[in-house]
């Protein structure tokens, strides 16, 4: 077989012929082959992989090797022995040297094939020694990345104990030798990616072996403090900073600044190189460490170092302000250096010539992020000109450039300057990252972004603000369970009661992340919401089944301990408690997800030849609303319309919503992304327009004709969709993308959509019509072409549709000979998830939530009259979804507190007007997921005002003991952290005010940002530098 393969490779046959023969060779791997033949094949394929003349030969070698190694593992185990691995790593292979990345890739591939074999342990031992030797040889980034990838997949190959400490130190030394020679953006991206992968390996080792962290940091300081003129360490060392726990700042800085063995020259060199790290695009917390070190030096009165470093580096720090990706961190360091340098104007005057060009540049780009930054920058400049007055020749042109911007008051300037001096007793300016951050004035808790997890944070906050759902979850008796609902309950409890400003939902992320979501990648929040609701629904259904299979005596025993306040409830860890607790308020057997978010649709098809009707009922948890074609495309690709598949499969957890279209998932990358604002004179769409478009009748004709079982042929038919059961919480997803199959361009629809604070959803309650076929009809045809009459109907405004809809409904009732009553169910806006970015493939999510005190939606909102059952008056309500002009005015000073803005860790007050005008103010920020809460009709609620455990809906349920203990323990830990910070500061000089920020850091900004690259307002897309490497 090896002769055949070798002859094939050297032949002149075309590539398709070679592939066909290779396929036969691979299929023959299942047959019996002698050991000699296997060894010959393994030798040949190894040569092809390592020494192949072209990628085709390497691919063939890898394909055949994997096939025969899989079916003939004992023979491959003998071939890929530890001696063979040792020879590869020490002597190389043929013309390849031992340090060639291809050899490491080959070993990595073979280890995957032998992972379950006992002999692989011996191979691991060999690799442990060899990787340490290779790292000591200072490999290039390409080889170091291959080594890191191998060790990340096979942690058993990482040296341990003393060798592990030495390995970490040498890896730090290796990173310090990574010099960037990139001249193009693509090469720069590759370099940054390589450094990030290697530093991630160190992070994983530090987490697994905490003892290696401190010694590694000592090695970092030894490198950056070196005064050897022949060695200039790489800026890539900045990539390690983000992996150092922020909580260690105080202790490490104190130890460093009080160490008598550290000379002034080495400290100056180290500080200068740390300031250089501000240029590293992906480094987080560099400014935090730089400011902490500056403060530490001031505390021990090493003013000479501070003066030298400030004068040497102040212009470099200022130059970093030109780059949006590192601008915010550079401003924090610049502010501290300038405001603390109060004995002379020398440092400030070094940057004065550069101020006006920067101000003009920030003014001209017009970005909200730049304007927000400009306000901070001009405040700093005003402080410095106040401090060093008497230089009108230097300051006149600056004052002219910033005359339109607000000026801080004299009292504020004095306060800032007094707090910032080196000799000040309260050195607190620009130290926000170092102070323990308390909750915002809203009293709500933020969620820390764990790396592109704003999609999860926005959904969690949206569900948390669904008050009825939150209270039901918190009232469940789940003691001893380890279900996803239990984790959600614990997360809700922390959001409601923790003293921290922001909580890190790491455990919930790991438990709830869909398996196809790549860790650290941007994802679609709508897809995550459907997956989460489906998981919770299926989990509860499974518990229902398990409970029904148990003896009834167990169920009776469980019902005794439903009260979460009873001692017995905390001692009996029964998974069935979820089912039991919910059955108290849901005797129909529906799950909590069905009762909170579940509704029902009926899809009916009427044959226009024989008038026979076929109907099919489908549950849903959300409605995916496409844009009308004229609204989203004028000479541009046609918007994806709500086909049958899109309407039904997107309907959430009950019917397998994971198959829904992925409108914003970063995993479905498009070849081209384009942004073209469309100018139109048509009135803006409103949410009811999109709902009506979703529910509008559709003609099945021509290629999409309907097969009528009565006519036994394809016929022209009309398809209709009706909501027959309204959910308590109505979730609406706006499909904000359009796709052109010809040009393969996927665009985000940036059209502004009017979001009414209240709307009425038509819900049908019809007498059973005469059907010509079964309600469980055959699958419906999808993606029917638009007929002229469909378009004529669907493109009308809401008011025209409402007027014509009343007439047509009356005609339909007469023609069908049966009464169809429509009830207009009122809904109030509860939450809005906003996507910020010009592309559907990337961006940032944040959410708005209605700030509710007391019962969630039990009272009719202002301007929305109480609704009675229209059918009781013998009249049918409108069959169209309509908006309500609710009175959203509030007393003076209260309006801004009606709504909350959740932007990862940051929670602020906002208003309904801000929610409704978000796209007008920031064109790249568009509403994506809306949640409306149903307003109960008078007397319609069977258990109105009651929770699952009999609690009043107007009050939060009491925390169960297990939840209460967890929160008390965490709050004690938080207070201990604050106390430790205070004690550490007391041990330092009185002028030092270093502390640390709990729970890590999340450098998020106002809407439109995610991570350090963002800014205020409507940013969050459109970066054409490596800023988009960070979400």
pLDDT (tens digit per residue) in 402-453: 888 888 888 888 788 777 766 553 333 333 333 434 567 777 889 999 888 9
CA distances from 944 to 479, 541, 607 (A): 27, 25, 42
DSSP code for 390 = -
Tokens coding 724? 């027959």
DSSP code for 646 = H
Q: Which listed residue (612, 844, 994, 1010) is catalytic?
A: 844
Q: Where are the alpha helices (DSSP H) in 234-367?
A: 249-258, 264-276, 286-299, 303-319, 327-340, 346-365
> Residue 828: helix, strand or coil by DSSP?
strand
Q: Is 844 a catalytic residue?
A: yes
Return the pLDDT at 917: 87
pLDDT over threshold 70, residue 646 = no
598 neighbors 620 (Cβ within 8 angstroms): yes
886 neighbors 862 (Cβ within 8 angstroms): yes
Q: Which listed residue (38, 110, 168, 454) is catalytic?
A: 454
Q: How far apart are CA 104 and CA 149, in angstroms?
A: 9
Most confident residue range from 39-48, 181-190, 771-780: 39-48
Q: How far apart are CA 1031 and CA 1025, in angstroms?
A: 13
Cross-strand partners of 902:
847, 907
Compute the chain's Rg from CA coordinates: 33
* String of DSSP letters for 836-848: ESSSSSS-EEEEE
Q: How far apart are CA 172 and CA 175, in angstroms?
A: 5
Length of the chain, in residues: 1031
CA distances from 13 to 10, 116, 310, 621, 798 (A): 9, 38, 69, 57, 66
Q: How far apart are CA 531 and CA 249, in angstroms?
A: 39
Minimum mean pLDDT among 199-208, 474-483, 646-655: which range? 646-655
pLDDT (tens digit per residue) in 664-682: 333 333 333 344 444 455 6
User: What percent of the chain is modeled with pLDDT above 70?
Assistant: 71
DSSP code for 800 = H
> Residue 1022: helix, strand or coil by DSSP?
coil
Return the pLDDT at 53: 80
What is the pTM for the complete model shown? 0.49
Q: How far apart are CA 552 and CA 965, in angstroms?
A: 32
Q: How far apart are CA 488 and CA 496, in angstroms?
A: 12
Return the pLDDT at 955: 60
Q: How crowded is residue 985: how many other Cβ atoms within 10 Å of its Cβ?
A: 17
pLDDT over threshold 50, residue 193 = yes
Tokens coding 817? 């000979």
Q: How crowded is residue 391: how many other Cβ atoms within 10 Å of its Cβ?
A: 13
At residue 545 the predicted structure's pLDDT band, cuts being 50, 70 and 90, is confident
Tokens coding 511? 């438990």
Return the pLDDT at 970: 81
Crossing angle (nearest 10°) for helices 185-208 and 141-153: 40
Return the pLDDT at 21: 77
Q: Backbone dihedral region of 914: left (phi > 0), alpha (psi from -120 to 50 degrees) or beta?
A: alpha
pLDDT (tens digit per residue) in 563-591: 433 333 333 344 444 444 444 444 467 89
> Residue 714: helix, strand or coil by DSSP?
strand
pLDDT over threshold 80, residue 282 = no
179 neighbors 138 (Cβ within 8 angstroms): no
Return the pLDDT at 827: 92
Q: Is 272 a catalytic residue?
A: no
Minimum mean pLDDT among 154-158, 203-207, 664-668, 700-704: which range? 664-668
Query: Chain-wide mean pLDDT for the chain?
Result: 74
Burial of 382 (0-12, 13-18, 19+ CB in 10 A): buried
pLDDT (tens digit per residue) in 685-695: 888 988 988 88
Return the pLDDT at 438: 56
User: What percent of the chain is modeled with pLDDT above 90?
Assistant: 21
At residue 984 the predicted structure's pLDDT band, cuts being 50, 70 and 90, is low
Return the pLDDT at 885: 60
Average pLDDT, stretch 888-892? 45
What is the maximal distance between C-alpha atoms in the chain?
A: 97
Residue 703, CB half-sphere, CA atoms under 13 Å: how many?
Answer: 6
Tokens 């209605």 sit on residue: 850
CA distances from 599 to 330, 508, 644 (A): 52, 27, 17
Q: How far apart are CA 747 and CA 677, in angstroms?
A: 10
Return the pLDDT at 378: 92
> What would the CATH number be for the domain defined by 598-859+892-934?
3.90.70
At residue 951 the predicted structure's pLDDT band, cuts being 50, 70 and 90, is very low
Minimum mean pLDDT among 652-656, 985-989, 991-995: which range? 652-656
pLDDT over threshold 70, residue 102 = yes
The gap between the terminal CA atoms of the chain, to the nearest Å, is: 50
> Which pairing describes strands 672-673 and 623-625: parallel, antiparallel, or unpaired?
unpaired
Tokens coding 697? 């009748």
Residue 37, CB half-sphere, CA atoms under 13 Å: how many?
Answer: 14
Tokens coding 825? 């169910």
924 neighbors 1008 (Cβ within 8 angstroms): yes
Q: Which residue has better confidence, 550 or 448?
A: 448
Tokens coding 1004? 């998020």
Degrees (nearest 5) of the Cα angle 600, 601, 606? 150
CA distances from 619 to 97, 165, 598, 613, 830 (A): 63, 58, 7, 20, 22
268 Cα distance to chain centroid: 40
Which among 400, 399, 429 has a CA at the least distance from the CA of 414? 429
> Residue 55: helix, strand or coil by DSSP?
helix
Q: Which residue has better confidence, 586 or 900?
A: 900
Burial of 261 (0-12, 13-18, 19+ CB in 10 A): exposed
Return the pLDDT at 728: 92
DSSP E strands in 521-637: the ranges are 599-607, 613-620, 623-625
Burial of 937 (0-12, 13-18, 19+ CB in 10 A): middle
Q: How far apart are CA 33 and CA 44, in angstroms?
A: 15
Return the pLDDT at 938: 56
Domain boundaries, the chain: 245-432, 453-583, 598-859+892-934
Average pLDDT, stretch 273-287? 85
Average pLDDT, stretch 750-774? 74
pLDDT over threshold 70, residue 780 = no
Q: How far apart are CA 696 and CA 317, in angstroms?
A: 59
Crossing angle (nearest 10°) for helices 303-319 and 346-365: 20
């Amino acid at each position: 077989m090896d002769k055949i393969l070798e002859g094939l490779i050297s032949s002149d046959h075309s590539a398709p012929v070679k592939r066909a023969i290779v396929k036969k060779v691979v299929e023959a791997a299942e047959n019996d082959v002698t050991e000699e033949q296997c060894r010959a094949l393994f030798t040949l394929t190894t040569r092809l992989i390592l020494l192949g003349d072209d990628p085709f030969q390497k691919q063939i070698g890898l394909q055949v090797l994997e096939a025969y190694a899989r079916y003939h593992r004992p023979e491959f185990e003998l071939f890929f022995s530890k001696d063979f691995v040792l020879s590869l790593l020490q002597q190389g292979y043929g013309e390849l040297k031992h340090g060639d990345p291809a050899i490491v890739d080959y070993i990595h591939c073979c280890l995957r094939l032998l992972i379950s074999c006992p002999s692989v342990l011996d191979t691991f031992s060999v690799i442990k020694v060899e990787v340490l030797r290779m790292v000591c040889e200072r490999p290039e980034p390409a080889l170091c990345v291959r080594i890191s990838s191998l060790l990340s997949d096979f942690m058993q190959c990482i040296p341990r104990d003393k060798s592990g400490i030495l390995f970490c130190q040498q890896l730090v030394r290796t990173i310090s030798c990574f010099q960037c020679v990139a001249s193009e953006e693509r090469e720069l991206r590759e370099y940054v990616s390589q450094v990030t992968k290697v530093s991630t390996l160190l992070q994983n080792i530090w987490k697994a072996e905490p003892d290696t962290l401190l010694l590694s940091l000592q090695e970092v300081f030894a490198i950056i403090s070196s005064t050897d003129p022949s060695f200039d360490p790489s800026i890539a060392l900045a990539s390690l900073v983000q992996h150092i726990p922020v909580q260690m700042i105080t202790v490490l800085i104190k130890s460093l600044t009080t160490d008598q063995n550290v000379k002034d020259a080495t400290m100056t060199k180290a500080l200068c190189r740390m300031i250089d790290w501000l240029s590293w695009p992906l480094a987080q917390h560099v400014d935090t460490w730089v400011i902490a070190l500056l403060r530490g030096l001031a505390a021990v009165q090493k003013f000479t170092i501070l003066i030298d470093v400030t004068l040497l580096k102040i212009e470099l720090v200022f130059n970093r302000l030109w780059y949006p990706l590192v601008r915010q961190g550079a401003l924090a360091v610049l502010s501290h250096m300038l405001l603390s340098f109060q004995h002379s104007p020398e440092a400030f005057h070094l940057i004065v010539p550069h101020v006006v060009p920067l101000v003009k540049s920030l003014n001209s780009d017009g970005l909200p992020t730049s304007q927000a930054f400009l306000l901070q920058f001009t405040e700093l400049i005003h402080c410095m000109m106040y401090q060093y007055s008497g230089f009108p020749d230097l300051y006149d042109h600056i004052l002219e450039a910033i005359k339109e911007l607000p000026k801080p008051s004299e009292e504020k300037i004095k306060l800032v300057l007094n707090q910032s001096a080196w000799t000040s007793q309260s050195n607190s300016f620009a130290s926000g990252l170092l102070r323990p951050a308390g909750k915002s004035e809203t009293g709500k808790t933020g969620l820390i972004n764990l790396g592109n997890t704003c999609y999860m944070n926005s959904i969690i906050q949206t569900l948390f603000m669904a008050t009825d759902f939150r209270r039901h979850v918190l009232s469940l008796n789940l003691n001893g369970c380890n279900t996803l609902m239990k984790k959600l309950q614990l997360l809700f409890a922390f959001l409601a009661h923790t003293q921290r400003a922001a909580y890190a939902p790491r455990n919930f992320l790991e438990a709830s992340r869909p398996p196809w979501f790549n860790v650290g990648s941007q994802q679609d929040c709508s897809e995550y919401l459907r997956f989460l609701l489906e998981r919770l629904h299926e989990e509860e259904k499974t518990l229902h089944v398990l409970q029904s299979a148990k003896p009834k005596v167990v169920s009776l025993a469980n019902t005794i301990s439903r009260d979460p306040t009873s001692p017995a409830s905390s001692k009996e860890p029964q998974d069935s408690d979820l089912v039991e607790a919910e059955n108290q308020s849901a005797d129909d057997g529906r799950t909590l997800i069905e009762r909170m978010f579940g509704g029902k649709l009926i899809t009916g098809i009427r044959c226009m030849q024989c008038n026979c009707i076929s109907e099919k009922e489908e549950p849903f948890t959300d409605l995916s609303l496409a844009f009308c074609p004229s609204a989203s495309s004028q000479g541009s690709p046609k918007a994806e319309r709500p086909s049958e598949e899109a309407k039904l499969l997107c309907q959430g957890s009950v019917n397998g919503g994971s198959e829904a279209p992925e409108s914003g998932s970063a995993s479905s990358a498009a070849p081209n992304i384009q942004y073209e604002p469309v100018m139109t004179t048509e009135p803006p769409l409103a949410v009811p327009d999109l709902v009506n478009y979703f529910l509008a009748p559709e003609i099945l004709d021509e290629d999409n004709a309907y097969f009528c079982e009565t006519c036994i042929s394809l016929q022209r038919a009309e398809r209709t969709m009706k909501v027959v059961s309204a959910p308590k919480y109505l979730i609406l997803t706006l499909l904000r993308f359009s796709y052109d199959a010809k040009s393969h361009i996927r665009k985000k629809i940036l059209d502004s959509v009017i979001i009414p604070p209240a709307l009425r959803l038509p819900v049908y309650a019809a007498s059973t019509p005469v059907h010509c076929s079964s309600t469980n009809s055959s699958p419906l045809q999808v993606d029917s072409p638009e007929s002229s009459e469909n378009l004529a109907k669907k493109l009308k405004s809401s008011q025209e549709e409402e007027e014509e809809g009343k007439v047509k409904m009356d005609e339909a009732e007469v023609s069908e000979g049966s009464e169809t009553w429509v009830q207009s169910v009122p809904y109030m806006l509860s939450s809005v998830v906003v996507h910020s970015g010009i592309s559907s493939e990337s961006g940032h999510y944040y959410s708005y939530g209605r700030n509710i005190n007391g019962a969630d939606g039990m009272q009719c909102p202002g301007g929305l009259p109480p609704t009675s059952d229209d059918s009781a008056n013998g009249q049918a309500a409108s069959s169209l979804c309509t908006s309500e002009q609710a009175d959203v005015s509030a007393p003076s000073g209260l309006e801004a507190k009606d709504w909350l803005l959740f932007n990862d860790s940051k929670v602020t007050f906002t208003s309904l007007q801000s929610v409704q005008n978000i796209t007008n103010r920031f064109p790249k920020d568009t509403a994506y997921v809306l949640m409306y809460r149903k307003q109960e009709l008078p007397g319609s609620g069977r258990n109105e005002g009651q929770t699952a455990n009999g609690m009043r809906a107007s009050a939060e349920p009491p925390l169960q003991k297990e939840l209460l203990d967890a929160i008390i323990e965490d709050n004690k830990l938080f207070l201990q952290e604050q106390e430790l910070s205070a004690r550490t500061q007391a041990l330092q000089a009185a002028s030092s005010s270093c502390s640390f920020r709990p729970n890590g850091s999340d450098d998020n900004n106002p809407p439109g940002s995610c991570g350090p690259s963002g800014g205020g307002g409507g940013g969050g897309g459109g970066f054409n530098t490596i800023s988009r490497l960070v979400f």
